Chains A and B, each alone.
Chain A
Amino acid sequence: MAVVETKAAQAASEDKELLISGSEAVAEALTLADLDVVTAYPIRPYDTVMQAIAKKISGGQLTAEYIVAEGEHSQFEIVKHASTVGARVFCGSSGVGWAYAMECLVVTPPLRVPMICLVGNRALDDPGAFGVEHNDALFVRDLGWMLCWIDTSQEAFDTTLIAYRVAEDRRVFLPCAISADGAFLTHSQAITMVASKEKVDRFLPRYNRGDLLLHPDNPITVAPQANEDWVIEIRRQNDEAMKRAYTVIEEAYADFRKVFGRGPENPWFEEYMTEDADVILIGMGTISLPMKVGIRNMRAQGKKVGLVRLRWFRPFPTEKIVAALSKAKAIGVVDRNYSFGSPFASGVVANEIRAALYNSDKRPPLLSFISGLGGREVTLEDVYKAADLCYSAATSGKSDARTHWLGVRE
């Protein structure tokens, strides 16, 4: 018996290296976070995370209430309610499934429910498509959800723990959606460092609902009819919570680095070869792979191109991104989403960056690209084309008002 205990104690304090997909990495983190309630509903590609959790539960590694709902609306409502009585919850969806849950996604932030979700980004049918597009997760960009994009299985594992730490902080109490590109990340395996339980416990305190706990010992009324008497003040409280999230995210990453001995200095975005870059390309998620390869090739030819891969979209790192981009001679935003009829018919990220730069003294020419929709591969040629167009803009010093669609059969 004593021997077994020592072994178990050792296992709890040891990191492991596993070959796992992004979805499986999230499930590893959830197990270590001792998740309480999880709800599943099938839709590709996010559902791989639920398959992984189901195995954890049937295998006895995780004790949680695991409910297969009859639709995404219920799927999200069930965990929303579980969270109000103090349970740590997880949920997720993709594409039209996320859309089906929209009503629930709307009410979760004002209820100050720290729900964590995985959005396996997927095109919105019709026409039917399993491939990645970012429009699904972007539905919630204005609603009080924290929203981030991850790029690797390691980042999936790490960000899941960080998301709980931030969302469940009483200063924040907002939901967080972790976006992972369908197939490219949800299904692709990579070596991932899965930390020890002991480290996770040091990093992630228990969820404490505090004065908002719905329980007979704390008989509060939650979300009564408020109307014009109070709604604007409640919205403002949400706004303050989102603003506090900046500090809480910084703190969480700093602590993460201390406890786990890894993790980025800059939580908000990854910079790749940007120090001396003339042209900086910007993207989110796994698009970074062809971009990084393309950038290395272009640099071999003497073209100084760099990449900013945005991690956190909400809250948006306005000042930091302006500082990082304004030193370039031209910037090109590659959106894996669309915003029909928007200014310059751009993608969403391009217009966010345009807005962020507006007050800046130094505004490099900005080009907007749309690429990789429906899961189409973003090729090196696409990356070269974007960089070359940016170079022309750098020379002329002018933004190009058109939005360029890359790799489209015209």
Chain B
Amino acid sequence: MADATFSNATQVLEPFRGIKKVTIEEYFTSGHRTCQGCESALIMKLMVKAAGPRTIVLGSTGCMYVANTTYYTTPWVVPWMHTQLGSSGSAALGTAAGLKALMKKGKMKAESINVIAFCGDGGGADMGLNGISATLTHKDYNCLILLYDNESYANTDIQLSGMTPYGANTTFSPPGKVIRNIHTRWKKNMAGMMAAGHPECRYVATVCGSYAVEMMNKVRRALTIGGPTFIHSLDPCPKGWDYDPMLSHEMGELAIETGLFPLYEVEDGVVKYYGKTKALIEGRKRKPVREYLLKQGRFAHFTEEDLGYFQAKVDEMWEKWEIPAVIPFRRLDASKAALEVK
């Protein structure tokens, strides 16, 4: 019954060596109607450009569905299917399993087809966390889950999610006369959690649309290494963050230069920092977070106290974490000291 030609191999997708070497073909074209300056839409475009034509994309509910994929005006050149808000993990797994079953049994021509499921921060880090986590343990299915993080439930009118930064003004956390910051939770460490919690997931990375070639090459690595992989992308969102749309790339750069969002990958358990994050690790000074925060209307109500709190939390990520900005456990000497406390 089994087809001798079936193998679980992935496609061969070499990294692009510089922007001029990037292929010209687009698989995400006109038809979408996202806001001006929407970095998430750019991420979609780069994601499928990196993946190429033999790809199936599954998209969970959110801006990248509702504003992006309208009946009769689809921007997707590759096959695309909607999945439920919390279903990115299951969509990737089910699609990969279906293809694998059919190819293994000789019911479909055997070839490597990229399977990518994307989700927003709400759909991925809140509602879909269990499904993503389960999928990252299924090492026999090749698929990529890409979380595009615009730091709110944007499509439903900018509500706070578990990935919204501390204190941000959202429609569910409006600053008021009595309570300035309704939202006092610190953002989840999604990529670190995925890397640390799933020993057989071979590749986890963070990306930012401001660094397009790096972003595409991480997608290519994620699609070729084999098994389930995870990418977290930080996407400035002019509507939700409240800034001039022309500043989207700059906002992404600042998120990295302030150390708020580190660019790295974890491949087979080995952490590798990228770009300006690497420079920070090597000793370049982090820009103060206020340079980033005060450019965005969502933090316009912040006081010096809020800015100080925010800065201290970011400092902690870099100075106290066992693997700076990746894994939040305290260094071994600190935990030894903790044991010694009677």
Chain A residues close to B by CB (< 8 Å): 34, 36-37, 63-65, 67, 69-71, 73-74, 77-87, 89, 103-104, 107, 206, 214-216, 218-227, 229-230
Given A78-B94, A225-B71, check contact A37 B134 (CB 8 Å): no
Given contacts A107-B84, A222-B80, 5 further A-B contacts (CB under 8 A): A37-B98, A77-B87, A215-B56, A221-B79, A226-B71
A76 to B292, CA, bound (A): 42
A284 to B133, CA, bound (A): 40
Given A37-B101, A63-B104, A214-B56, check contact A224 B71 (CB 8 Å): yes
Interface segment among B105-113, B190-198, B313-321: the answer is B105-113
Q: Mark B63-94, 1 if CB is under 8 A from A, else 0.
A: 00110011110101111111110110111011
Nearest A residue (CB) for B27: A219
User: Does B271 belong to the interface (CB within 8 Å)?
Assistant: no
List chain A residues, Cβ under 8 A from B107: 36, 86, 206
List chain A residues, Cβ under 8 A from B91: 77, 81
Q: In the complex, are the beta carbons of A73 and B77 less than 8 A apart?
A: no
List chain B residues, Cβ under 8 A from A67: 93, 97, 138
Q: Which of B2, B76, B81, B130 contacts A74 (CB 8 A)?
A: B130
User: Does B311 belong to the interface (CB within 8 Å)?
Assistant: no
List chain B residues, Cβ under 8 A from A83: 98
Q: In the complex, are the beta carbons of B83 and A225 less than 8 A apart?
A: no
Within 8 A of A (CB), among B20-63: 53-56, 58
Within 8 A of A (CB), among B202-256: none
Chain B residues close to A by CB (< 8 Å): 1-2, 53-56, 58, 65-66, 69-72, 74, 76-84, 86-87, 89-91, 93-95, 97-102, 104-105, 107-108, 113, 130-131, 133-134, 138
A67 to B138, CA, bound (A): 9
Q: In the complex, are the beta carbons of B84 and A82 less than 8 A apart?
A: no
Q: Which of B70, B80, B131 contacts A73 (CB 8 A)?
A: B131
3 residue pairs, one from A and one from B, having the closest CB atoms = A81-B94, A82-B98, A77-B90
For A77, A84, A216, A222, the residue with the greatest tally of chain B CB atoms inside 10 Å of its CB is A77
List chain B residues, Cβ under 8 A from A104: 84, 87
Nearest B residue (CB) for A222: B81
Q: In the complex, are the beta carbons of B95 and A63 less than 8 A apart?
A: no
A84 to B93, CA, bound (A): 13
List chain A residues, Cβ under 8 A from B97: 37, 65, 67, 78, 82, 87
Given A85-B56, A215-B56, check contact A224 B70 (CB 8 Å): yes
List chain B residues, Cβ under 8 A from A71: 130-131
A214 to B2, CA, bound (A): 22
Dominant SS at the B interface? mixed
List chain A residues, Cβ under 8 A from B87: 73-74, 77, 104
Nearest A residue (CB) for B135: A74
A287 to B6, CA, bound (A): 49
For B69, B71, B77, B133, the residue with the greatest tally of chain A CB atoms inside 10 Å of its CB is B71
Q: In the complex, are the beta carbons of A216 and B79 less than 8 A apart?
A: yes
Q: In the complex, are the beta carbons of B81 and A86 less than 8 A apart?
A: no
Q: Which of A34, A214, A216 contacts B81 (CB 8 A)?
A: A214
Nearest B residue (CB) for A86: B102
Given A85-B102, A87-B97, check contact A74 B131 (CB 8 Å): yes
Q: In the complex, are the beta carbons of B90 and A69 less than 8 A apart?
A: yes
Q: Which of B66, B81, B82, B101 contacts A65 (CB 8 A)?
A: B101
List chain B residues, Cβ under 8 A from A85: 56, 95, 98-99, 102
List chain A residues, Cβ under 8 A from B79: 214-216, 218-222
A344 to B102, CA, bound (A): 51
Q: In the complex, are the beta carbons of B134 and A84 less than 8 A apart?
A: no
List chain A residues, Cβ under 8 A from B81: 81, 84, 214, 221-223
Q: In the complex, are the beta carbons of B71 and A70 less than 8 A apart?
A: no
Q: In the complex, are the beta carbons of B69 and A224 less than 8 A apart?
A: yes
Q: In the complex, are the beta carbons of B56 and A80 less than 8 A apart?
A: no
Given A77-B87, A82-B94, check contact A219 B131 (CB 8 Å): no
A34 to B2, CA, bound (A): 12
A37 to B99, CA, bound (A): 10
A229 to B73, CA, bound (A): 13
A29 to B80, CA, bound (A): 33
Given A81-B81, A103-B84, check contact A221 B94 (CB 8 Å): no
Q: Say how far A76's CB is from chain B's closest CB, in angstroms.
A: 8
Q: Which of B66, B69, B131 contacts A77 (CB 8 A)?
A: B131
A81 to B77, CA, bound (A): 19
Q: Say how far B305's CB is from chain A's closest CB, in angstroms.
A: 41
Q: In the complex, are the beta carbons of A77 and B105 less than 8 A apart?
A: no
